Amino acid sequence: MLTCDHCGVEFLDGVQCPLCQNHLDFACAGITEVGWRRQGAKQSSWKCPKCKSGSPRPPNTPTNTGLEDIFAELKRLTTQTGVIPDLMNMMVNVQAELAEIKSLKEELVTVKSSVEFTHQSIENIETKVSSLSKDVESLKKTRAEVTSLREQLDKLDLLHRDNEQRLRKTNIEIKGVPTSDSENLFTIMAKLGDIIKIPIQKDQINYIVRVPMRSDPRKKNIICSIHNLYLKENFIAAAKKHTIKSSDLGLQEDSRVFVNDHLTIENKILLNKTKLIAKQRGFAFVWVKNCKILIRRNPTSPALTIKSEKDLQKLVPETHQS
């Protein structure tokens, strides 16, 4: 691609002046492409319009410089007007790009608003999370306080139950003795003492009464409170070695008579649960001594004291033992 030294327009094919060495397109050179080809060997002596105008001319030789200038100007104008469609297309493209930029700007404004809204939402969430965290910490503290209070209540309840049971520590509970209108409870206690060879004198008894059973109020057990704890323990231990019936006491019925520690209602319920758990978890022995519930897995294993249901929850099934 060459540039015309006269009009400045680029061209692919043209001429070069042998004198000034300028490159010219055919229009600025004042010659057609066909005419240039016809020059043949004369091309080496051809001169551009500028060199021709500078060289002496023979007299009365007409010049065509004005015509050549006209052709060159027409060529320049034609070249310039040919650029207008391209410029128009460029303007259309620029307008389209400007419209796209405007659309992008509007989208950016929308995105900015969305980001600001999201940021505000995140701040609100962070505020709520912070508030919830404080609530959770407060709940944890409250839960710890409740747990502490529950433990204290459990201790107080256990202490109360121990105190209630301690009031009965010298009591003997006799179950299975039928009632009669003319019965004498002191006489019944004396006969029981004779049977088991542990006599109890009347002056050794603090009080003796009948108490309705919780499961059946029509039946009443005998509660005998004596002054001596060791006598009470020996009496119960000896009675458990005998199979005593009401007929042995001179009564007409032949029901079985049981002699036990006088447990509180809570401890009686706990004793029944202990017997059930012992059967389920492979414990062979459950008994009461000195108003305490004891459990043992086998004859050689240590005895465990059961004071509450928490103690029952600690018992491990036999299959889990190593």
Specify whether 62 is located in the same domain as 177: no
Query: Which whole-number Å values give the CA distances from 138 to 76, 132, 134, in the listed order?
Result: 90, 10, 6
| Residues forming beta bridges with residue 224, ordered by sequence position | 172, 208
pLDDT at 82: 64
Residues 77, 116 within the same domain: no
Do both 177 and 149 map to the same domain? no
Assess if residue 91 is contained within a domain.
Answer: no
Give the per-residue pLDDT at 146: 93
Quote the domain boundaries for residue 195.
171-320
178 and 274 share one domain:
yes
In this structure, the answer to whether residues 267 and 207 fall within a common structural domain is yes
286 in the same domain as 207: yes
pLDDT at res. 322: 43
The pLDDT of residue 6 is 86
- pLDDT number for residue 320: 47
Evaluate whether residue 230 is within a structural domain: yes
The residue whose two tokens read 């409870």 is 185
Is 90 among the domain residues? no
Q: What is the mean pLDDT of each run of 10 residues along the chain (322 residues)?
A: 87 87 88 86 85 64 62 72 73 85 89 89 90 90 91 89 93 94 93 96 96 84 96 96 94 92 95 95 94 95 94 76 46
Q: Are residues 181 and 306 in the same domain?
A: yes
Whichever domain contains 8, its CATH number is 3.30.40
What per-residue confidence (pLDDT) applies to 205? 97
Q: What is the pLDDT, as a whole number, of residue 83? A: 63
**Residues 172-203: tens digit of each pLDDT:** 999 999 998 889 999 999 999 999 999 999 99
Q: Tell me, what's the pLDDT at 288?
A: 95
Domain count, the chain: 3
Q: Do 206 and 306 belong to one domain?
A: yes
Q: What is the pLDDT of residue 319?
A: 52
Burial class from Cβ neighbours inside 10 Å (0-12, 13-18, 19+) for residue 70 reads exposed
Residues 158, 189: one domain? no
Q: Could you tell me the CA-to-CA distances from 155 to 161, 273, 309, 315 in Å, in that order?
A: 10, 20, 13, 20
